[in-house]
Amino acid sequence: MTSPEDAFARAEEEVARRRAGGGYAGPPGGALDSSLVAEEPSREQLAEWAVIEIDPDEVLYSSRVGAPLTFFKRLLARLLRQYLVELEARQTRFNIALLARLDRLEERARMEEEAGRDSARDSSG
Amino acid sequence: MTAVHQVLSSAGPYDAVSIQGLLWRRLLRARGFGGHDHAATVDPRARADFRALKELRAEPGDLVVIRYSAYSPKLLPVLALPNRRLLVYHNVTPPRYLWNHHAGVAVACAVGRTQLPRFARAADLAVGDSDFNAAELREAGAAHARTLAILFDAARLEDRGTPPVPGAGPLVLVVSRLAPNKRHDLAIAAFAAWRAERAPDARLLIVGESLSPSYRAQLERIATGSGAGAAITFADGLSQRDLNAAYAAADVLLSMSEHEGFSVPLLEAFHFGLPVVARPAGAMPEVGGDAVLWDRGGDVAVTAELLELAVRDLGLREGLARRGRARLEQFAYERTAAATLRAVEEALG
């Protein structure tokens, strides 16, 4: 009998033994690993999100039971396409402009920090 | 008659926060308190028990209990009421799990976390339903926040329906909302590895409401791609009777969750004498204690071997069941009900 305290170590040993024999050949992680962002979204992630482009198939999915309603919603989205595309474009315009301004502010802050370090080095030397 | 009103950001038929609201109401009513339960958003299936927040009518002297689990702008006017407030914090999911899966819920969680200090400061008494949650409350500014464990009503687990899964073979049960922080993808991967390596007749039953239909579809694709899709059943909208039957039919409860403010399914598994394999995330260790096979690694093959031990090692199963019963005593209804009433009296002033 294995005690609860020993179970994890025993499981690890068994996995190592089986892997040596060609078992447990799959990856150790899960399918969602790459989709979970870090604590703060990265610059690249923000740039990706800035462009608003919604695929109706992604948001208007439903079960077989809800299929007629989903069909109607997709039809509605198609009828409103001109309006929705304009909405997406204007939001994207704002997002991209804001991101560009953020980049410039970060660059300015970086240059001022460097200048501050240089002048401190000059005065101490 | 003194009234105690409860306010939730959203109320539904199955979520843990709404169920706690119902259990508190039953207790409060039994002790002679009046009042009603309200939510900013009410699922049509919960309309018999919860009213719209705009219908809240608190008289002077009434207590307002705010159950905080997500932000809703409709909650803010509650802070302007002259009544005394008891804040019950159930935790808010870190948005990093949600940005790529449900932008709207991610925003609600992000704002929910940034707004928590505002609610913490406005509370006359603040409690978290675990030490993990109470610590977050203290960080948010409620210096004297303490732990008040949930009400665990074992009586609701007695009535049995039909287990919603066909076939024979060892049954692995996962009970939690289908959301990225619960890491059902890891549960599926571990199950598929166990099935391929050790238990070709094993079955996996995943019970829970989904964050969205598209997220459920994504998990179904992951299940199909795992090679064990035919042995994996997703079930939502289960009645309590059918969930009880699933617990009774299962051989092990599996949780790969990375963020848990409490985890009622642990206690439910202990009630059914079911061994548990889980990751020690958030409040899980303080709820499960020494009665769980903790998966401290990041390798689903090791999780698969823990499933093997939990299902096949009869001595281990008996030991875990014994420890689980001891853990349940920590959460005995009489004990937590008395603590709940003391908190209500204290908050009333």
CA B252 to chain centre: 18
B222 touches chain A (CB under 8 A): yes
DSSP lists the bridge partners of residue B224 as: none
Same domain, B95 and B108: yes
- The model's pLDDT over B240-291, given as tens digits with 9 standing for 90+, comes to 999 999 999 999 999 999 999 999 999 999 999 999 999 999 999 999 999 9
Q: Which residue of B has its CA nearest to A2?
A: B316
Nearest CB partner across the interface for A36, out of B96, B304, B306: B96
Output Rg (C-alpha) for chain A, integer angstroms.
27
Tokens, residue B70: 């997500």
What ipTM did this prediction achieve?
0.88
User: pTM higher than 0.90 for the full model?
Assistant: no
Q: What is the pLDDT of residues B11-27, one digit of tens each?
A: 998 889 999 999 999 99
Are B319 and B301 in the same domain? Answer: yes
Question: Is the alpha carbon torsion for B179, B243, B46, B122 positive or negative?
Answer: negative
Rounded Cα distance between B213 and B221, Å, is 12
B224 and B92 in a common domain: no
Residues B178 and B324 occupy one common structural domain: yes
Chain B environment of A20 (Cβ under 8 Å): none
Q: Which of B237, B218, B235 is nearest to B226 (CA)?
A: B218
Identify whether residues B259 and B234 lie together within a single domain: yes
Report the alpha-carbon distance of residue B257 to residue B235 in Å, rounded: 18
Residues B187, B293 within the same domain:
yes
Tell me the Ramachandran region of residue B239: left when phi exceeds 0, alpha when psi lies from -120 to 50, beta otherwise.
Answer: beta
**Residues contacting residue B70 through CB under 8 Å, at least 6 positions apart:** B9, B10, B92, B105, B108, B109, B112
Check whether residue B142 and residue B184 sit in a common domain: no
B119, pLDDT greater than 80: yes
Pair (B167, B275) in one structural domain: yes
Beta-sheet strands, E only, within B208-320: 232-235, 252-255, 276-278, 293-294
- In chain A, what residues touch B304 (CB-CB under 8 Å)? 15, 24
User: Do B110 and B168 share a domain, yes or no?
Assistant: no
Instruction: State which amino acid sits at residue B281.
Output: A
pLDDT tens column, B179-217:
999 999 999 999 999 999 999 999 999 999 999 888 999
Q: What is the pLDDT of residues A62-121, one digit of tens each?
A: 666 777 888 888 888 889 989 998 999 899 999 999 999 999 999 999 999 999 998 888
Number of independent structural domains in chain B: 2
Nearest to B135 by CA among A41, B208, B144: B144
**Are the beta carbons of B66 and B112 closer than 8 angstroms?**
no
CATH classification of the domain holding B325: 3.40.50.2000
Show me where the domains of chain A are located.
51-124
A contact set with B (CB within 8 A): 1-5, 7-8, 10-12, 14-15, 18-19, 23-24, 26-33, 35-39, 41, 45, 49, 58-59, 61-63, 66
Q: Which two tokens stand for residue A92?
A: 């994207």
Q: Provide the residue range defining the domain that includes B16.
A: 4-152+332-348
Spatial neighbors of B244 by CB under 8 A, at least 6 apart, are: B157, B158, B159, B160, B161
B199 shares its domain with B209: yes
B256 touches B279 (CB < 8 A)? yes
